[in-house]
Amino acid sequence: MAVARPKHLVLILAREFASNLATATMITDERGYLVYFNEAAEEVFGQSHSEVGEIPFDDWTSRFEPRSVETDEPLPKEQRPTGVALYERRASHQCVRITSLDGLPRENAVTAFPLFAHHDELVGTVTIFWRQ
Amino acid sequence: MRIRIWGCRGSLPTPGASTVRYGGNTSCVEVRLEDGSLLVLDAGTGIRCLGDELAERGVRQIHLLLTHLHLDHLEGLRFFAPMWNPEVSIEIWGPPSPTTSLRDRIARSFSPPLFPLELTDVPAKVTYHDVPREPWTIGPFSLSASLVVHPGPTVGYRIRAGGATFAYIPDHEPALCGRLAELPPDWISGGAVAEGADLLLHDAQYFEDEYETRIGWGHSSVADAVAFARAVDAQRLLLFHHEPLHADESLDLLEDRARELAGQNGRGPTLAREGMVVELQPRLVLEEHRERRGEAV
C-alpha cells in the first residue's frame, strides 16, 4: 500500500475549513489528485471520501460525465472548473451538468480556484459546488 | 548531536527568582556536532549568552535558522555579539513571505524607534535565505523545513546528522486542524518534520484549561503536545515555549501532567530548561549496542 504524502500546510488548513462548511467542497493537491471532499459533497456525489481515496480527480470526475449546461457537450478535463484552476492556475466558475451515481442528472454551479503558498507555488485547488 | 537550550521561555522574557530553574530567556537552541559544526535555532534573548560563548570560541561561520519572526524569536539578534564582528559570516535562514524579503522583515527590528541602529550598520557579513522547498544541506547537517500552524509564516525544522534526527517546532498549534488522535498522519501539521524523530522539541505553552481560552493563538496545550508526539511516533519529547505566567512550580506540575498523559512508556516527556544539554545518539547505534548485550530493543 502506498504511503500517503505529507500534505502542505495550506491543504491542511483548507481541509479543516472545508470540513466545517455546509457547502460541498473538494480539494486536490498540486498534481490534481483528489485528496479530500467534505460531507456536503458526499450528498452531491453519492460517495464518501473514504470510499474514493486519493485518485486523480480527472479519473473520478469523469465517472459523472460532466457536460456543459449551455451546449450539453462533454467538458474536456482542462475545461472543467478544477482543470482550469489546476492547469491554467486561475479561478473559474461554470454551470456544469453531471450524472450522479444514482443516475440522475444534476446541474451545479461550480467555482474552482488555485491555492498558492508563500513561495508562490501551486499547492492545490479548491472546488465549491453551490446549491442551485 | 549535542543540543543545548539557551532559552525556552515563550512570548516574553521572564527573568526573576520565580523562574530561575527553567529560565526566563526566549527561544534559542544550539545544535553542535563533535567536529564543531554548528547550527543556531532562533534568536530569542537566549542568543545573547550564546553569542558571547561563540565569540570566546572564535567561531567565524554561523548558520542561524529562524522559525518565524515574532519578537520572542528575533529580539536577541540585535545583541548577538557575532553580528558586531566584521570577521564573522552569518547566514540567516527563515520562512518565505509573498511580499517582503527576509532581510527587510528582519530590518524592521533594527530600525528606529525600536532600535538606535540600522541593519546596514551591522559589520558582520550577513546573508539571508528563504528556506528551500526541498531538503538541503549545511555542512554535515541534512535539513528540511515545512510550514506549520502558527500565525504568520512559520516553519519547523528537521535536522539530521550522524544518524540522529532532531525535530524543532517551538511554536505550533496542530490541534487547530482537528483532533490529533483521529487525523491521518499525512494530514497533521508538522508531521513531515517530526515523524519518527529521535528528539522532538515542541510547544507546550498551556495547561489544558488555559488552552480553552487561547485557541488560535498559535500554541499548544500539554495534552496536544503529547498527542502530537504520539501521532508522529517521536522517540523523545522535550516541551518548550513556557508560558511567561508559569513560575517554576507551575512548570513542575506541567511536566507531571505531560508524564501522566504520556503513560508508562519509559520515555516520559521532559520540560526544557535553560542550560540543559541533550546528547542525541544515533538510534541504530543504540539498537546495535542493545542487541549485543542481549536486551530487547
Mean pLDDT, chain B cut into blocks of 10 residues (297 residues total): 98 97 98 96 98 97 98 98 98 92 96 94 97 96 96 96 96 94 92 96 98 95 97 96 98 97 82 96 57 41
Q: What is the pLDDT of residue A99?
A: 83
Q: Which pLDDT score is estimated for A131? A: 76
pTM: 0.89
Strand extents, DSSP E, A19-104: 24-29, 33-37, 55-56, 67-68, 92-99
Greater confidence (A107 vs B166) lies with: B166
The model's confidence at residue A49, banded by pLDDT at 50, 70 and 90, is confident
Domain B2-292 is in which class? alpha beta
Predicted pLDDT at B296: 38
pLDDT of residue B265: 64
Instruction: Return the pLDDT at A62.
Output: 81
The contact set of B with A (CB < 8 A) is 95-98, 130, 133, 146-149, 153, 176-178, 184-189, 191-192, 195
Among the partner-chain residues B130, B178, B192, the one whose CB lies closest to the CB of A6 is: B192
Q: Do B191 and A120 touch (CB under 8 A)?
A: no
For B216, B223, B225, B243, B275, the CA distances from B211, given in Å and listed in that order, are 9, 10, 12, 11, 27
Higher pLDDT, A87 or A49: A87
Task: Tell me the chain B residues in contact with residue A13 when contact means C-beta distances shorter than 8 Å.
Answer: 149, 177
Mean per-residue pLDDT for A22-35?
94
Task: List the domain boundaries for chain A.
Answer: 25-130
Q: Which of residues 1-40 of A touch B (CB under 8 A)?
A: 4-10, 12-13, 15-16, 19
Residue-wise over A99-110: b if at least 16 C-beta within 10 A, else e? Answer: ebeeeeeeebeb
What is the domain partition of chain B in residue ranges? 2-292
The CA distance from B107 to B114, in Å, is 10
Residues of B in contact with A9 (CB under 8 A): 146-149, 189
- Hey, which CATH number is domain A25-130, 3.40.50.300, 3.40.50.11540, 3.30.450.20, 3.40.50.720? 3.30.450.20
Nearest CA in chain B to A116: B98
Residue among B130, B133, B186 whose CB faces A5 most closely: B186
Q: Which of A19-23, A107-111, A115-119, B28-32 has the lowest mean pLDDT?
A: A115-119
The DSSP code for A96 is: E
Please classify residue A26 by burial: count the beta carbons closer than 10 Å to its beta carbon, then call 0-12 exposed, 13-18 middle and 19+ buried: buried
Distance from chain centroid for Cα A39? 13
> What is the mean predicted confidence (pLDDT) over A15-33?
94
